[in-house]
Structure 1
Amino acid sequence: MNKKITTAILMGSVALALAACGNPAANDKVQEPEASQAQEQKADMQKSDANSFKTIFQDSVFLGDSITEGLSFHDVLNEKNVLAGAGKTAEFSLKDIAELTKRNPKQVFIQLGSDDILWRADDPIAYSMKNYAKLIGMIKEKLPQTRITLLSVTPVTEDAIKMEPRYKNIGDYNQAVKELAGKEGASFVDLSPIFSNSPDFYDADGIHFKPDYYTKLLELLKEQTK
């Protein structure tokens, strides 16, 4: 009799142990779909935002350098709404006038300067402003009904400045762009509020950006389209 009781107790203990071991796995199975669902919801929201921005800015063109090019690279805007490329300066962008005219946007956002301040000239800012003014003049001539908005150059990280000290001139360049906008009757938008809380928008080089930055950028600029 005692042998039977002992055997029953032992079997019961094994069953309880197996049940206990099974609980974490069961919990994991409950949590994994929740985590997956949260990721899917986030992806759906990002896709929804992207589609919304593509509609809001469907009649706009963003003209600029590799910073601006990120808008289409990260599929935040369609390629037809972005006319940009690595190394673009105000001078080099003069060659884009024909293509810009062909696209005939209602509004053009211009963001140049990240490469201009690295230009090897006696006064890179003055040289850039001369060509920037010429660029605006050509847009006015070819597209007189198009609204022009100038955007400030985005800041870089401290590490990027250590690698390239000329980035210290971004503030002076932005002041020159603001004054140029006033002189030429264009709008000017300071993008510094996007970085007020120092979010982790930067790619590894401390100059270019992750997709989240472009969402914040367009959120800031959408009022300009009204």
Structure 2
Amino acid sequence: MIKFVYFFIYFLIFFISINFIKGIFPINLLNNNINNEKFLQTLEETSVASSEEAINNYLNSLKPPVEDTTEINSSNPNLSYAEYFSNTLFVGDSITEGFEEFGFIDSYNVICGKGDTILNGLEYISTIKNMNPKNIVLFYGLNDVIEFYSTDPAGWSFQVFKDKYLELVESLQSGLPNSNIYLISPLPITDTSSYQRNYRLTNENLNIFRNLVQEVALETNTTYIDLSSLALSNENLHTSDGIHFQYDFYPMMLDYLKNYIN
């Protein structure tokens, strides 16, 4: 009993000290709706060990919750494109390169090169796996129209393009089972451009490759995103070659991708 009295006096001094400090410093440790007198009365009816546990539980219950700020809230309208797509890796050709060149996406989140085809994509597999992104966006099919032109199954045919694309996607799915993969349609070109380009690069052939990309998405259960209508309704935003796009088209693409990518 004497031991309990000493303990009770100790707690009472501690309690008074806390309230004294509370009056000096702007803390909210004991600012709550619990009846302190009632709490003290319950201590008289318990053992010393139980009282210590009750005191600790009581004080812990008064601590403010810690806010978790480790993840970026993608619904925040004030996020930049680089912040929104910070967990997304863009892989593709020179059109993909524009995301980085125009400053919309960090260079770390873009793997591409001018003239890249699906064959280059296969070379990036180990790099992509090591980066382990949450989302992977693949832009292939434009330069592939030039590379895979033969209708001969023994050559670089349309079917070979599809097979290589399947190989890329399936390898990424095997190595990164938790990553989301998005396949972007090859974008249409403008026929009015006087720019001299490969005769195989036509909208007719691009339509064939667009369908092949969609087939790959269906067969691998990945997400196919067709940006053709967006490009066709903004033909004035093509560059002079009728293939690539100006600065203003990239925010449109990224806003469209937000409908699919969180």
Q: Do 1:157 and 1:206's aligned partners in 2 also have CA atoms closer than 8 Å?
A: yes
Aligned to 1:96: 124
Aligned to 1:156: 189
Q: Do 1:50 and 1:77's aligned partners in 2 also have CA atoms closer than 8 Å?
A: no
Aligned to 2:146: 118
Give TM-score scaled by structure 1 length: 0.73
Aligned to 1:66: 94
| Structure 1 residue 122 displacement after superposition | 2.1
Cα shift readout 1:177-211 (whole Å, capped 9, x = no counterpart): 11110011010011023134334211121111111
What does 1:197-208 correspond to in 2, within 5 Å? 197-208=233-244
5+ residue gaps, structure 2: 1-76, 152-156
Query: In structure 2, what is the Cα distance between the partners aligned to 1:69 and 1:225?
Result: 19
Aligned to 1:76: 104
Query: Partner letter of residue 119 of structure 1?
Result: E
Q: Alignment identity in percent?
A: 28
Query: Partner letter of residue 115 of structure 1?
Result: N
Relative to structure 1, the CA distance from residue 139 to residue 197 in structure 2 (aligned partners, 3 Å threshold; closer, same or farther) is same
Query: In structure 2, what is the Cα distance between the partners aligned to 1:119 and 1:199?
Result: 25
RCO higher in 1 or 2 (8 Å CA, sep ≥ 6)? 1
Query: In structure 2, what is the Cα distance between the partners aligned to 1:165 and 1:78?
Result: 34
Query: In structure 2, what is the Cα distance between the partners aligned to 1:183 and 1:145?
Result: 18
Query: In structure 1, what is the Cα distance between the partners aligned to 2:126 and 2:78?
Result: 28
Aligned to 2:174: 141
1:176 aligns with 2:212: yes
Query: In structure 1, what is the Cα distance between the partners aligned to 2:235 and 2:243?
Result: 14
Aligned to 2:53: none
Q: Do 2:148 and 2:161's aligned partners in 1 also have CA atoms closer than 8 Å?
A: no
SS in 2 for 1:136: helix
Query: Partner letter of residue 211 of structure 1?
Result: Y
5+ residue gaps, structure 1: 1-48
Query: In structure 1, what is the Cα distance between the partners aligned to 2:106 and 2:93?
Result: 16
Relative to structure 1, the CA distance from residue 56 to residue 132 in structure 2 (aligned partners, 3 Å threshold; closer, same or farther) is same
Cα shift readout 1:123-170 (whole Å, capped 9, x = no counterpart): 332121111000001101111110111000011110459743322200
- Which one is further off, 97-106 or 49-58? 49-58
1:109 aligns with 2:109: no
Q: Do 2:184 and 2:224's aligned partners in 1 also have CA atoms closer than 8 Å?
A: yes
Aligned to 1:187: 223
Aligned to 2:201: 167
Query: In structure 1, what is the Cα distance between the partners aligned to 2:126 and 2:257?
Result: 25
Query: In structure 1, what is the Cα distance between the partners aligned to 2:78 and 2:147?
Result: 34
| Structure 1 residue 176 displacement after superposition | 1.1
| Structure 1 residue 50 displacement after superposition | 10
Query: In structure 2, what is the Cα distance between the partners aligned to 1:187 and 1:81?
Result: 19
Structure with larger Rg: 2
SS in 1 for 2:259: helix
Q: Do 1:71 and 1:214's aligned partners in 2 also have CA atoms closer than 8 Å?
A: yes
- Which one is further off, 189-198 or 168-177? 189-198
Measured on the aligned residues, the alpha-carbon RMSD in Å equals: 2.0
Relative to structure 1, the CA distance from residue 51 to residue 85 in structure 2 (aligned partners, 3 Å threshold; closer, same or farther) is farther
Equivalences, count: 178
